[in-house]
Amino acid sequence: MAKVHRGQGDHTRALTEYGRSLRLREKLGDEVGHARTLNSIGFIHAQQGRYTDALGSYERSLRLAEKLREEPGQAFILSSIGNLYQAQGRHAEALSFYERAFEITDRLGTPERETYRRLRNQMRAPSP
């Protein structure tokens, strides 16, 4: 239900549902799902302009993905953090996270590497 509410732009209800999901995933020991839910919460906070809250959720999600050695998830979260910094005009920080996401996906040979390569290259390009 959280995704439905998020898609409808009802962030308050989405956050409530994601909170329920976190509690259930914790109870079940579903750490991968917990990390994904934290990332989704971070996304909503970012959409609301609550950048500090978003970063906190992303960082918690990233720590969990690193603990689980869930590298594709790590790359996705790193790009989410890069997007957050880019939205704030913090281009150097965004570039750092895009580069890390690219390095992981390039090493793994996943198709997402092209997306992260493009993001990284856009951030490297000089501004007009």
**pLDDT score of 5:** 46
CATH topology of domain 70-128: Methane Monooxygenase Hydroxylase; Chain G, domain 1 (1.20.58)
- Residues of the chain with pLDDT below 70 are 1-11, 126-128
Whether the model clears a pTM of 0.75, i.e. scores above it, the answer is: yes
**pLDDT score of 61:** 96
**pLDDT score of 17:** 86
**pLDDT score of 123:** 79
Query: How far is CA 116 from each of CA 46, 64, 86, 102, rounded to the nearest angstrom?
Result: 19, 21, 14, 5
Measuring CA to CA, which residue among 114, 105, 46, 115 is closest to residue 75? 105
**pLDDT score of 16:** 80
- The owner of tokens 């906070």 is 45
